[in-house]
């Protein structure tokens, strides 16, 4: 009785192996053929990129700089064939899985390809947003510097950060990720920041803001070297900081006065401009 059970089990094992072995051999053969084909396509793509001078074209179009933001340091003639090779392998893997009856694997690869356009769109949004953030940040910084604002680098950085934040939300939307909670939190945070800024500007730092505004307009009129009289003291203007004006007195001392003195209704500040005929 035991012998019959062992013989039956052996026969079932042999039948299973015999039935599966051809599929294994066919799968290995198909995999080898598909990998070799993908490598051939990669080689042809690399050759076409070299002949078309893709590296020079990508540098001229700014594509190399955009791709570099993603951490890709290889030239276009190297990463383009690699992307083609990976895509071809996935496509061949789906075909091979279908031929071998591996439906779950084939369905997974098919789902990946259906989701791939969203990934490409998200990457494109990130690249475009990053370039726009750099451009806007530099433009804001230059405009602030030309206007004499001391916080020009900070304003440029804040502008770039805001654009990058909006770009990140757009990229998440392209990936079909719900961003409603992020929007709600962002609106609440911006509202709180605006309220805090308004209160601090109107109450806590009113005098500082007054000095900064006065200093901004004073720098358009006064220059280092001008003779400045504040009250009963006369000296040479050294510099105008965001909140204070520094004056060198004849006694070789330096006097620092608040920029709000320019806005006083009393004597305020009297000044005599230095000879600027040599400027420019």
pLDDT digits (tens, 9 = 90+) for 186-243: 788 878 877 776 776 666 667 777 777 788 778 777 888 888 887 777 888 888 887 7
Q: What are phi and psi of 62, to 5 degrees?
A: 80, 10
pLDDT at 138: 87
Q: Which numeric CATH code is attached to 222-272?
A: 2.30.30.60
The arithmetic mean of pLDDT across residues 64-92, rounded, is: 78
Mean pLDDT of the chain: 77
Q: In this model, does residue 19 exceed pLDDT 50?
A: yes
CA dihedral defined by 70, 71, 77, 81, rounded to 10 degrees?
Answer: -70
Asked if 83 contacts 116 with a C-beta cutoff of 8 angstroms, the reply is no
Q: Find, among 145, 41, 30, the residue nearest to 86 by Cα.
A: 41
Altogether, the residues listed in the chain come to a count of: 280
How far, in Å, CA of 113 to CA of 108, rounded?
A: 9
Specify the DSSP element, H or E, that contains 216. helix 206-221
Q: What is the mean pLDDT of residues 63-84?
A: 76
- Please write the tens of the pLDDT for every residue from 230-240: 777 788 888 88
Three-state secondary-structure class, residue 207: helix
The neighbour count for residue 63, using CB atoms within 10 Å, is 15
Instruction: Spell out the SS3 assignment of 4-67.
Output: HHHHHHHHHHHHHHHHHHHHHHHHHHHHHHHHHHHHHHHHHHHHHHHHCCHHHHHHHHCHHHHH
Q: Which residue, 188, 183, 154, is CA-closest to 169?
A: 183
User: pLDDT digit string (tens) for 86-142?
Assistant: 888 888 788 777 776 777 877 888 887 788 888 888 888 887 888 888 888 888 888
Domain 118-204 falls under CATH 1.10.3470: no
Note whether 174 and 125 are within 8 A (CB): yes
Residue 170: both structure tokens together: 């757009």
- pTM across the whole model: 0.54
Round to whole Å and give the CA distance between 27 and 21. Answer: 10
What is the model's pLDDT at position 276? 52
Chain segment 255-279, per-residue pLDDT in tens: 888 887 777 755 556 666 655 543 4
Q: Is residue 32's pLDDT more than 70?
A: yes
Q: Say what the pLDDT of residue 150 is.
A: 66
């Amino acid at each position: 009785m035991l012998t019959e059970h062992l013989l039956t089990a052996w026969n079932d094992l042999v039948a299973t192996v015999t039935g599966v072995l051809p599929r294994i051999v066919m799968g290995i053969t198909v995999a080898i053929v598909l990998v070799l084909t993908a490598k051939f396509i990669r080689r042809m793509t690399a050759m076409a990129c070299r002949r078309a001078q893709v590296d020079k074209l990508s540098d001229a179009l700014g594509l190399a700089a955009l791709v570099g933001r993603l951490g890709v340091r290889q030239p276009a003639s190297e990463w383009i064939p690699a992307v083609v090779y990976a895509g071809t392998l996935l496509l061949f893997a789906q075909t091979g899985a279908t031929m071998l009856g591996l439906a779950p694997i084939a369905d997974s690869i098919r789902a990946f390809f259906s989701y791939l356009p969203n990934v490409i769109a998200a990457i494109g949004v990130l690249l475009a947003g990053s370039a726009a953030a750099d451009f806007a940040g530099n433009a804001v910084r230059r405009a602030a510097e030309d206007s004499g604002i001391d916080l020009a680098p900070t304003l440029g950085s804040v502008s770039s950060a805001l654009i990058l934040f909006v770009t990140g939300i757009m990229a998440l939307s392209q990936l079909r990720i719900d961003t409603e909670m992020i929007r709600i939190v962002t609106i609440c945070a911006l509202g709180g920041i605006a309220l805090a800024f308004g209160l601090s500007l109107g109450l806590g730092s009113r005098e500082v803001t007054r000095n900064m505004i006065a200093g901004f307009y004073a720098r358009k009129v006064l220059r280092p070297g001008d003779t400045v009289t504040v009250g009963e003291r006369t000296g040479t203007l050294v510099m105008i900081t965001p909140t204070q004006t520094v004056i060198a007195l004849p006694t070789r001392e330096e006097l620092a006065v608040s920029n709000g003195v320019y806005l006083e209704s009393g004597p305020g500040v009297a000044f005599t401009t230095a000879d600027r005929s040599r400027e420019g």
